Amino acid sequence: MIYYFSSTGNSQYVAIRLAEMLGERTCDIYKKEKEATDAQSDETVIFVFPVHAWGPAKEMSYFIESEWVNKSNGKQSFYAVATCGDDCGNTDRLIDSLLYRCTGQHVTGVYSVTMPNTYVLMPGFDVDSDETARQKIDAAPERISAIAEAIQQKRPAPELYERGCHAWLKHYVVRPLFQFYLKLNFFRVKNDCISCGRCAGHCFFGIIKMQDGKPKWENKKGDMRCTQCLACYHRCPLHAIEFGSITRRKGQYLHPNLTKRTKK
């Protein structure tokens, strides 16, 4: 069973390609309650998710914490595949620690696939150029095939994980700054909004509510808060969502299997 979370389609693409190669089932964790899909007691479990601030996406962490506590019977093998724009830092150690805390088992292997950048909420961060995005997407199938082979062989394959440089600095200094930044909520909508509701429909934690035909971002406490996954921003058909003034003149991105976005 492959459980995945995907805000822009990158992780969804990786999950589906892996499923085809391994003959596995897939489950979008956003739709899990509707689909009621569970792994079998002896089934291999693979988690596919984007890297956020050099760690697992909060949505996947929340899913594991809420769905997998004391659920494993020791007969399953756990794997994780992280999608990242550049590198993953210590995501492998964080997901292993989380799984061990929830299931009592360590992850057998953690792998990564480089996909187009999607983070735009800080100065200096933007989506990739069309050429760079295409190069990453074109290179992904070979990487996914190598990961599928490693999983079939039950092999950790650290060479298939992109830790990157200065992982310690990113983990202990930069990551906490990003986590503090999550407390900020500068999302707003321009007059271009056509009240399509796509932003609210793709919000994992239900933070976005439609009021008078326009989206409003609520500040909830605890885990149920905006994680800045940017599904709302990238899926807006008219680029009508902004994060203060930071996202002005920045691009949008969705994996081509969903709908291609062009940079403005």
Confidence at residue 263, expressed as pLDDT on a 0 to 100 scale: 39
Of the three residues 157, 178, 199, the one that is the final residue of a domain is 178
State residue 84 phi and psi, 5-degree precision. Answer: -145, 155
Q: Which residues in the chain land under pLDDT 50?
A: 34, 36, 260-264
The distance of Cα 15 from the centroid of its chain, to the nearest Å, equals 11
200 shares a domain with 78: no
> Is the domain of 57 the same as that of 86?
yes
Give the count of domains, the chain: 2
Specify whether 173 is located in the same domain as 188.
no
Q: Output the pLDDT for position 60.
A: 95
pLDDT at 260: 45
Q: What's residue 264's pLDDT?
A: 36
d(CA 187, CA 205): 15
**Domain extent at residue 232:** 184-243
Task: Say yes or no: 62 and 107 in one domain.
Answer: yes
The mean pLDDT value of the chain amounts to 90
Residue 170, C-beta contacts closer than 8 angstroms, at least 6 positions apart: 54, 89, 90, 164
pLDDT at 238: 95
Same domain, 153 and 190: no
DSSP for 3-46, written as a single string: EE--SSSHHHHHHHHHHHHHT--EEEGGGHHHHT----TT--EE
Here the CATH number for the domain that contains residue 217 is 3.30.70.20
Distance CA 199, CA 9 (A): 15
CA distance 202 to 56: 19
Q: What pLDDT score was predicted for residue 152?
A: 97
Interatomic CA distance for residues 252 and 105, integer angstroms: 38
Domain annotation covers residue 30: yes
Please check whether residues 14 and 117 belong to one and the same domain. Answer: yes
What CATH number corresponds to the domain at position 33?
3.40.50
Residue 59's CB is within 10 A of a number of other CB atoms, namely 22
Q: What is the pLDDT of residue 132?
A: 97
Reported as a single tens digit per residue, the pLDDT across 66-105 is 888 766 667 789 999 999 999 999 999 999 999 999 988 9
> Do the domain assignments include residue 249?
no
Its pTM stands at 0.92
The pLDDT value recorded for residue 109 is 97
pLDDT value at residue 177 = 84
Q: According to the model, what pLDDT value does residue 185 have?
A: 84
Q: Which of these three, 149, 178, 207, is where a domain ends?
A: 178
Helix (H, G, I), strand (E, B) or coil at 146: helix
- Predicted pLDDT of residue 40: 67
Indicate whether 222 belongs to any domain. yes
Nearest to 113 by CA among 181, 161, 182: 161
Residues 111 and 212 in one domain: no
Q: Would 188 be classed as within a structural domain?
A: yes
Residue 179 has a pLDDT of 79
- Residue 104 and residue 203 in one domain: no
Last residue of a domain, one of 123, 143, 178: 178
* Whether residue 109 sits in one domain with residue 209: no
Residue 254 lies in a domain: no
- pLDDT for the residue numbered 182: 76
Same domain, 231 and 162: no
* pLDDT at residue 191 in the model: 92
Instruction: Give yes or no: residues 134 and 225 share one domain.
Output: no
What whole-number distance in Å separates Cα of residue 82 and Cα of residue 61? 12
Residue 67 lies in a domain: yes
Residues sharing a CB contact under 8 Å with residue 242, sequence separation 6 or more, in sequence order: 186, 187, 188, 189, 190, 248
Any domain includes 193: yes
Q: Are residues 192 and 161 in the same domain?
A: no
Looking only at the bridges linking them, the beta strands covering 241-243 and 208-211 are unpaired
